[in-house]
Amino acid sequence: MASLPFQVCRLGSSDVALMRGLNGMFGTAFADPETYGGAPPEEAYLRDLLAKDHVIALAALMDGAVVGGLVAYELDKFERARREVYIYDLAVAEAHRRQGIATALIDHLRGIAASRGAWVIFVQADYGDDPAIALYEKLGTREEVLHFDIEP
């Protein structure tokens, strides 16, 4: 079996530079550079965040450069003794799409989720984001839900 031209790794507290690269890639991929780079957090904040077990940041690297990534959060449930994992962000740089990177990122997350005893991984997609919807339908079961943002 041929090796993939990229590697997927989980970022830890010493990977602040890769996390900054991941945020930059997210900003470009989502056409939202202000959100992902306009007010970057301090290095100590990112180190602490990446050290938390419930925060899962994965990067797909090609020749040391971030070409894709995923950020997910593990949520402990109250109604049963189980966990769910929520994919918050998932993107692949435009020049590297359709190469299996997003699927590899989700597969890597599946392994982490299984080892942590997660019951399910869930993700949201926007109407009109046909590539994301096709990927998620290939990997899971579609549910129709409404999403609401509530100001604190």
Residue 76, beta-bridge partner list = 83
State which amino acid sits at residue 104.
A
1 with 36: CB under 8 angstroms? no
Q: For the domain that residue 11 is a member of, what is the CATH number?
A: 3.40.630.30
Q: What is the pLDDT of residue 54?
A: 96
**Structural domain that includes position 110:** 7-139
Listed residue (115, 130, 4, 136) closest to 70, CA to CA = 136
The reported pTM is 0.86
The per-residue pLDDT string of the chain (152 residues; one tens digit each, 9 = 90 and over) reads 456 799 999 999 999 999 999 999 999 999 999 999 999 999 999 999 999 999 999 999 999 999 999 999 999 989 888 899 999 999 999 999 999 999 999 999 999 999 998 999 988 777 776 776 766 776 676 667 656 665 67
Name the token pair of 84: 């769910």
**Contacts of 38-47 spanning 24+ positions with Cβ under 8 A:** 43/16, 46/16, 46/19, 46/20, 47/13, 47/14, 47/16
Q: What is the pLDDT of residue 125?
A: 72
Q: Is 144 a member of any domain?
A: no
101 with 90: CB under 8 angstroms? no
Q: Is 127 a member of any domain?
A: yes
Q: What is the pLDDT of residue 4?
A: 75
Q: Is 56 a member of any domain?
A: yes
Q: Is 21 a member of any domain?
A: yes
Q: Is 150 a member of any domain?
A: no
Q: What is the pLDDT of residue 152?
A: 76
Q: Is 146 a member of any domain?
A: no
Q: What is the pLDDT of residue 81?
A: 85
- What DSSP line would sit under 9-44, residue for residue? EE--TT-HHHHHHHHHHHHHHTT-HHHHHSSPPPHH
Q: Is 112 a member of any domain?
A: yes
Q: How many CB atoms lie within 10 A of CB 136?
A: 20
Per the structure, the count of domains in the chain is: 1
Q: Is 148 a member of any domain?
A: no
